[in-house]
Amino acid sequence: MAAITDVDVYEEGPNAEVKVIYVQTRNTADAADTIDIDMAAYGGKDLLYVGGVKHTTDGSVVAIENPATSVSGTTLTLTIPAGTDNDTRVYRVVMSSKDLTFS
State the Cα angle at 19 between 16 and 80, rounded to 5°: 170
Element of type H or E holding 54: strand 46-57
State the Cα angle at 62 between 56 and 63, rounded to 5°: 90
Higher pLDDT residue, 58 or 11? 58
**Residue range(s) defining the domain that contains residue 22:** 8-96
For the chain, helix (H) and strand (E) counts, in that order, are 0, 8
Q: Is residue 64 part of a domain?
A: yes
Q: Is residue 76 part of a domain?
A: yes
Q: Is residue 1 part of a domain?
A: no
48-72 pLDDT, tens digit per residue, is 999 999 998 888 899 999 999 999 9
Domain total in the chain = 1
Instruction: Report how far apart the first and last C-alpha atoms of the chain are (Å, whole number).
Output: 34
> Which CATH number does the domain housing residue 81 bear?
2.60.40.740
Q: Is residue 40 part of a domain?
A: yes
Is the predicted pLDDT of residue 17 greater than 70, yes or no?
yes
- Indicate the pTM of the whole model: 0.87
Among 1-5, 10-14, 48-52, 59-63, which stretch is predicted with the lowest mean pLDDT? Answer: 10-14
Q: Is residue 3 part of a domain?
A: no
Q: Is residue 61 part of a domain?
A: yes
Q: Is residue 42 part of a domain?
A: yes
